[in-house]
Structure 1
Amino acid sequence: MENKWLRAALPALLIHGSIGTVYAWSVFKQSVADYIGASVPDVEWAFSIAILFLGLSAAVLGHYVEKNIKRSALLATLFFVAGMLGTGFSIQQRSLIGIYIFYGIVMGIGLGIGYLTPVKNLMLWFKDNKGLGTGLAVAGFGLAKMVFSPVMMTLQKSIGLWQMFIFLSVVFAIMMLIGTLLIHKPIDWQEKPLQKPFQPLKVMGNMTFVGIWLMFYLNITAGLAIISQEKDILSNLTLQNGSAVFSLGAITTILSVDAFFNAAGRIGFATLSDRLKDRNSVYQLIFGISIVMSLLSYFLPSGNFLMPIILVGTFFLINAGYGGGFSALPPLLADRFGMNAISKIHGLALTAWAAAGLSGNQLASYIVHVLGMPYQTVFLAISILYIIAYLISRFMVKPTKMLIV
């Protein structure tokens, strides 16, 4: 049966729904640190390395994805599953270096290939609604945390920490292999050879591409700066009598709803971009909303009764914009640079994710722990980043198509 749901949407959800569990890192990082006898900051580097190699592998292997999506889906499965298995055995052996290698490098490569693989295929099948297509794919990436976080917590308690990785590697292998079997480009699509060799340096030197890269990087950095601190911000919020505003259960619920908004933003903003004259406008909307909410969270006095509502609303909307920035990216690049080399160009753009993965968490940590400033100062910092991103989107990302490949 040749239809877009079976050949594009379902495989994308299976593949992205597996690799998206990288965002469930916070569920087990403390347990990993305790089990191997390392500090959380030392263990934290495994996640940063994974995001770094996600971006690097996507940039380097974009050409491989262009050639054959079935082979790239299989390669992503092999790397991701091997990374999960290796991480489990490294934890068993209490090897921090092993965790860096398998969770960071090996799994990171699987993330990069797996992230790219379904995207062009979805835009081919959903050619009249490219935003909806890519939104479906990366929504799976966002929903994975919400679906698998409780599963991981249950498995840790029932079978053990390192055993959890071994068990899940089998589950993800099955999911991703089914996705590999199902994924297929439209029968009537013929890949057109590039008129001239792909020149990544020429693409990276194009000012429109530079503008897209910068605003994508700033959106991820600002988003991660808040997302990485949400639990601490909510935990430190107190009433005038000194009692906590939110219980631990309420905080857990808010963080779960965050994951929903992240996924909803991935579908919603990308689908909205299909209805706009210029898809770049959806980024200006994301940045505008984020500027208003982050400034409200900074300037509203901490004792104000509206503060808890504003804070939670800010978290939800920033998560939605964070997710939407990912899903709106491929169709925007396709509009500006065409479909022929979209996987290669998208891969280059994802290096912004690699860079932001190293800078987002550290920005918030530096403000709070090194400078000793209150958590609210993080909102001021990210509002500045969003303002810069808005100006880049408004004046640097040109509305015309660039024939550079």
Structure 2
Amino acid sequence: MKAVVIGGGIIGLCSAWYLLQDGWEVTVLDKGDLSNNCSYGNMGMIVPSHFVPLAAPGMVQQGIRWMFNSRSPFYVKPRLSRELFSWGWQFMKSATAAKVEQAAAPLRDINLLSRHLYEQLATTPGFNFGMEQKGIIMYYKTAAVRDEEAHLAEKAVKMGLDAAVLDKAALQQLEPAVQLNVLGGVHYRCDAHLYPNGLMQQLLRALQERGVKITGGQQVEKIISSNGKVKAVITAAGSHTADLFVVAAGSWSAAIARMAGINIPLQPGKGYSVTLNQPAVSLQVPAILCEARVALTPMRGKLRFGGTMEIAPANNTVNMKRVEGIVQSIGQYFENLNITMPDKNEVWHGFRPCTPDGLPFIGYAKGTDNLLLAGGHAMMGLSLGPATGKLIAELAGHQAPSVGISHFSPGRFN
């Protein structure tokens, strides 16, 4: 049985990995050269703690306020677009306490599955991607955010996750080299991190060594289907036939799905990151700065920091005002990290595929029996890569999924 996976990011490669293990003959197609997609510049965090989706109560009002700040962490570019209007309307309908409560357990379960699969992958010969289980720390500076984070930590513990609310003194013991300027933080010891660049390179090599055909420069131009079954994918380089097709093309997944007559609401969310080599002062534990929505991860002697979410058409411009906002916020939490503004050519950017409710699409496309969708993971693509790949392989083999996936149905907005 042959499978074609469209997309060579972490979701596509993990799908190929687990399909291969189940006996499929796999081809991976990517429009780029597979060297610098969204999976390379992310923060490398594995986050069972992230059981609250992007579409949460208060995000609509907060997003409107942030729209008028050029350095804010969240921005929706206003434009006349039926797709954006529909996406925004669905986002508002999803941003309720009830919807967030319903999403908590599914997000926890799929993240825990992914962490377990990463642990297995880390012991596989040929893999050494710097996975460390030190958790992450959510730092806060204000009493209001402290109360919110303490409430979330309490909920996390009730859900079986390892989390502890710490004061500044306790945090300072965990980070002795850094001068903290915070009120406190929550240490989610259930989380982990890794070096994504190493992971991607090793996964590519391992797949190719095992016979998976991986080719770049394969922009999908047409999908041929009939009677609820995809027959072929056409690229500029030729036609690709298979028994199974998986769309895992990140922010371009919606456009590819439309070629098969499938409509899924998906918007690209641009994010930026900068990687410092051998900084004089660094962190021991990955950090998220709550008020600023900025993340920092130490990885193999490097320190990567990043943030922002720009909901706008995919483009390769770098908004240095938003980068400036990231840099300035770090100094407000860590007084001696001494991070200065990078040159524009040092700033990496990528596009996170965002669904209106903050939950990914994992499952068969509505009305088809051989087209699987795997996308919309937003900022959790790296975290959910192995779990998504495992679930895709299970669905392809008509096996019971390892975790419940009803909340991730691609047809839930139709």
TM interval, shorter chain, is under 0.3
Q: TM-score, normalised by structure 1?
A: 0.25
